[in-house]
């Protein structure tokens, strides 16, 4: 081990180490339900500056910055691929204000904070201030799930992060282009011409590449199995070509290319999204580990009290002023404005882009740009930790949180799903009942249940519902093929362990058995929706039972031998449907949801030993 720490590692081992640390940190963070960026920061600093086992400049040499540049290009392309202009037009007034007014205003206020609170040069402040527009789309989603915000402020924060992601990177690119041409050109006219040519060429090449890809994919010029590979190769080619014309203009080109493809209505868009999601997880973690390991204590030692002042100014002045001024004439309640104003976590994109531009500015002779990357790390760590621990309590103080229990979405209105939804609602579990047939939702609407009329796979559902509030999906329509489609389509987004499906009506035999990659998990006794609805017609009812130290699971089973267990909420607030082979949590305060026949339900209702719901 000593030899490794002193002599470093070979490039192949270094790449493997970066991948293991990055993905491993994200997995551990998922298991511990905490922001992954904190663990990646700790892992990178530990193997780099602390023990010296991995130093990118030593172990990868000249490959470090090209790898970071390519990774940032793919990350920015992913940001552009997320920006569908139809969604932007349909977004709420607050989102448009935070984008059209908040982005340039945030750029200005952040640059002023860096210049006067941090003492950075105007060049470094302008470039870094543009990057600070990004509020961390990879960080905000886990925080929203953890805090359980009300729908509107959650939407504001979520869409601001998505829309401003490429805008912030674009602002940094434009500011950097100005700095480059002013530093390298001898005359202002020549500098302005070089800048204009670079921007026009980059935007034009990006737009042409995006339209070319869309046309080729639409007309079938590229086979399905090659689309992701072709997209990745063209992305790298566009980036390299534009960088050759004007340094760093490739980032602008790939962002524009992503926006064009996002608005081309490609049938293969789902597969492209899978590509960018998988690539982003790998590249974001890799870039973060590389940049964290590249920090050295000498650079960190240059951060003084002014660095802390910068963080305070950005978090408590620049961000709140940006939001409050942007939303000043909107109809949003003041509580929602305050919550959004004091919630602005920064993420991996900020660190990656800041590290890249910091190096480039130093190469141009701007010495204080060496502080950009350390400042970015400090800001990310501070905002993620602060918001990670305070967003939930702050939102509860303002009365802007939903239930502490993860929600359940029931797809398909029927007597069984309506009854189950009522039981969940009475137990204060957030629930939503969806169906494309309005008449089937009539009973649910009359009982006051939250409903959505429409296809759950439609764009209207994707952008009109606050899906962050729900962690489990139960596909229970009377169409087996549609249930399988819903479960298969939503599985990657919600996690296949959280997507369930009623049993299919199928004859026995291998001809009708679907592969494990299709459909959702079974639950209860793995019955069809027709069998479940028949039980409701026969008088079966839903029951909710809270286990206590006196009323245990064994006693519950003794009193209810014929009852069917459906789901549970653990003492920690975790909801899950119970598969046929699952054993429920036996700890006190576990809540069990079951179906019981008429006689059992009557006996249980009269029993004094069963702990009632609060």
Distances (CA, A) of 256 to 76, 168, 202, 276: 9, 13, 8, 15
What is the rounded average pLDDT of the residues 415-429? 91
* Structure tokens that stand for 119 in this block: 């003492």
Mean pLDDT over the full length of the chain: 80
Phi, psi of 538 (to 5 degrees): -85, 0
- Report long-range pairs for 481-486 (Cβ below 8 Å, ≥24 apart): 483/411, 483/412, 483/519, 483/520, 484/514, 484/518, 484/519, 484/520, 485/457, 486/411, 486/456, 486/457, 486/520
Answer for the pair 525, 562: CB distance below 8 angstroms, yes or no: no
* Structure tokens that stand for 151 in this block: 């729908």
In the chain, CATH 1.20.1530.20 covers 67-397
Report the pLDDT value the prediction gives residue 197, as an integer from 0 to 100: 76
277 vs 260, more confident:
260
Answer yes or no: is pLDDT of 603 > 50: no
Q: How many other CB atoms sit within 10 Å of the CB of residue 599?
A: 10
Report the pLDDT value the prediction gives residue 536, as an integer from 0 to 100: 92
Answer yes or no: is pLDDT of 279 > 60: yes
3-state helix/strand/coil string of 385-408: HHHHHHHHHHHHHCCCECCCCCEE
For 292-337, how does the pLDDT look when each residue is reduced to its tens digit (9 = 90+)? 787 777 767 777 888 889 999 999 999 999 999 998 888 888 888 8
33 vs 322, more confident:
322
Fold annotation for 407-606: Rossmann fold (3.40.50)
In the chain, CATH 3.40.50.720 covers 407-606
Answer yes or no: is pLDDT of 36 > 80: no
What is the rounded average pLDDT of the residues 521-549? 90
Answer yes or no: is pLDDT of 478 > 50: yes
For 119-177, how does the pLDDT look when each residue is reduced to its tens digit (9 = 90+)? 888 888 988 888 888 876 666 766 776 676 776 787 778 777 767 766 776 777 777 77
Report the pLDDT value the prediction gives residue 111, as an integer from 0 to 100: 92
What is the rounded average pLDDT of the residues 229-243? 88
Residue in 44, 38, 43 with CA at minimum distance from that of residue 68: 44
What is the rounded average pLDDT of the residues 58-80? 78
Residue in 418, 487, 421 with CA at minimum distance from that of residue 456: 487
Report the pLDDT value the prediction gives residue 288, as an integer from 0 to 100: 76
What is the rounded average pLDDT of the residues 583-600? 86
Q: How far apart are the first and last CA of the chain?
A: 57
For 212-228, how does the pLDDT look when each residue is reduced to its tens digit (9 = 90+)? 998 988 888 888 778 88
**CA 26/CA 277 separation, integer angstroms:** 14
| DSSP symbol at 187 | S
Report the range of poorest mean pLDDT among 138-147, 375-384, 471-480. 138-147
Answer yes or no: is pLDDT of 232 > 70: yes
Phi, psi of 148 (to 5 degrees): 60, 55
**CA 322/CA 265 separation, integer angstroms:** 34
% of the chain residues with pLDDT over 90? 15
**CA 421/CA 561 separation, integer angstroms:** 24
**CA 589/CA 545 separation, integer angstroms:** 9
Report the pLDDT value the prediction gives residue 230, as an integer from 0 to 100: 87
Answer yes or no: is pLDDT of 609 > 60: no
Give residues with Cβ within 8 angstroms of 363, minimum separation 6.
Answer: none
* Structure tokens that stand for 491 in this block: 């599985």
- Which pLDDT band, with edges at 50, 70 and 90, does 54 fall under? confident
199 vs 189, more confident:
199
What is the rounded average pLDDT of the residues 424-451? 89
Strand partners, 568: 576, 592
**CA 406/CA 175 separation, integer angstroms:** 43
Report the pLDDT value the prediction gives residue 199, as an integer from 0 to 100: 77
Length reported for the chain:
614
Domain 67-397 matching CATH 1.20.1530.20: the answer reads yes
- Which pLDDT band, with edges at 50, 70 and 90, does 508 fall under? low
Answer yes or no: is pLDDT of 27 > 80: yes
What is the rounded average pLDDT of the residues 374-394? 83
**CA 149/CA 469 separation, integer angstroms:** 8
Report the pLDDT value the prediction gives residue 454, as an integer from 0 to 100: 86
Answer yes or no: is pLDDT of 78 > 50: yes
Q: How many other CB atoms sit within 10 Å of the CB of residue 231?
A: 23
Answer yes or no: is pLDDT of 419 > 90: yes
- Give me the DSSP letters along 444-491: HHHTT--EEES-TTSHHHHHHS-GGGEEEEEE--S-HHHHHHHHHHHH
- Which pLDDT band, with edges at 50, 70 and 90, does 187 fall under? low
What is the rounded average pLDDT of the residues 442-469? 79
Give residues with Cβ within 8 angstroms of 161, minimum separation 6.
Answer: 134, 135, 136, 137, 140
The residue behind tokens 């951060």 is 303
Answer yes or no: is pLDDT of 505 > 70: yes
Give kind and range of the element (H or E) at residue 542: strand 541-546
**CA 440/CA 34 separation, integer angstroms:** 40
2 vs 238, more confident:
238
Q: How many other CB atoms sit within 10 Å of the CB of residue 423?
A: 20
The residue behind tokens 């799903």 is 417
Report the pLDDT value the prediction gives residue 421, as an integer from 0 to 100: 93
**CA 500/CA 496 separation, integer angstroms:** 8
């Amino acid at each position: 081990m000593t030899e490794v720490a002193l002599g470093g590692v070979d490039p192949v081992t270094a790449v493997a180490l970066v991948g293991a640390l990055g993905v491993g940190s994200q997995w551990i963070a998922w298991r511990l339900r905490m922001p992954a960026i904190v663990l990646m920061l700790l892992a990178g600093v530990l193997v780099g500056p602390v023990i010296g086992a991995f130093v990118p400049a030593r172990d990868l040499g000249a490959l470090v910055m090209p790898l970071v540049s390519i990774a940032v290009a793919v990350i920015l392309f992913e940001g552009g691929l997320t920006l569908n202009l139809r969604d932007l037009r349909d977004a709420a007034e607050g989102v448009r204000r935070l984008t059209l007014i908040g982005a340039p205003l945030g750029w200005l206020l952040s640059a002023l904070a860096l210049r006067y609170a941090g003492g950075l040069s105007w060049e470094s402040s302008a470039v870094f201030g543009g990057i600070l527009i990004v509020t961390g789309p990879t960080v905000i989603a886990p925080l929203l799930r953890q805090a359980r915000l009300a729908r509107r402020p959650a939407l504001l924060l979520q869409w601001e992060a998505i829309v401003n992601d490429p805008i912030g990177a674009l602002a940094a690119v434009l500011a950097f282009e100005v700095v480059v041409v002013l530093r390298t050109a001898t005359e202002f006219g020549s500098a302005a011409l070089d800048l204009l040519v670079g921007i026009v060429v980059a935007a034009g090449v990006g737009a042409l590449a995006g339209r070319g890809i869309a046309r080729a994919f639409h007309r079938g010029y590229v086979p399905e199995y090659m689309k992701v590979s072709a997209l990745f190769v063209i992305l790298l080619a566009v980036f390299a070509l534009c960088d050759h014309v004007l340094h760093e203009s490739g980032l602008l080109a790939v962002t524009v290319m992503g926006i064009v493809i996002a608005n081309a209505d490609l049938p293969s868009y789902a597969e492209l999204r899978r590509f960018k999601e998988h690539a982003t997880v790998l590249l974001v973690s890799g870039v973060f580990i590389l940049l964290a390991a590249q920090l050295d204590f000498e650079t960190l030692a240059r951060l003084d009290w002014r660095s802390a002042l910068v963080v305070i100014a950005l978090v408590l002045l620049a961000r709140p002023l940006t939001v409050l001024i942007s939303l000043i004439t909107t109809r949003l309640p003041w509580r929602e404005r305050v919550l959004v104003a004091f919630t602005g976590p920064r993420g991996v994109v900020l660190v990656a882009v800041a590290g890249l531009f910091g190096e480039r500015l130093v190469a141009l002779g701007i010495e204080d740009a060496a502080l950009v990357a350390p400042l970015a790390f400090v800001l990310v760590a501070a905002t993620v930790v602060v918001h990670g621990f305070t967003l939930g309590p702050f939102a509860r103080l303002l009365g802007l949180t939903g239930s502490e229990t993860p929600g359940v979405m029931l797809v398909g209105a029927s007597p069984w799903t309506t009854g189950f939804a009522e039981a969940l609602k009475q137990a204060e579990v957030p629930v939503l009942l969806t169906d494309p047939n309005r008449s089937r939702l009539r009973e649910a609407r009359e009982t006051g249940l939250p409903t959505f009329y429409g296809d759950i796979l439609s764009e209207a559902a994707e952008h009109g519902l606050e899906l962050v509030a729900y962690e489990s999906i139960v596909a229970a329509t009377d169409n087996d093929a549609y249930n399988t489609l819903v479960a298969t389509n939503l599985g990657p987004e919600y996690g296949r362990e959280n997507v369930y499906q009623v049993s299919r009506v199928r004859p026995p035999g291998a001809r009708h058995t679907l592969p494990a990659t299709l459909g959702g998990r079974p639950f209860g006794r793995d019955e069809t929706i027709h069998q479940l609805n028949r039980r409701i017609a026969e008088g079966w009812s839903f029951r909710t039972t809270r286990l206590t130290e006196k009323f245990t699971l064994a006693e519950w089973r003794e009193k209810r031998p014929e009852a069917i267990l459906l789901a549970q909420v653990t003492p920690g607030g975790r909801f899950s449907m119970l598969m046929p082979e699952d054993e429920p949590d036996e700890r006190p305060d576990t809540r069990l949801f079951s179906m019981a026949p008429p006689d059992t339900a009557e006996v249980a209702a009269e029993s004094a030993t069963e702990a009632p719901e609060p």
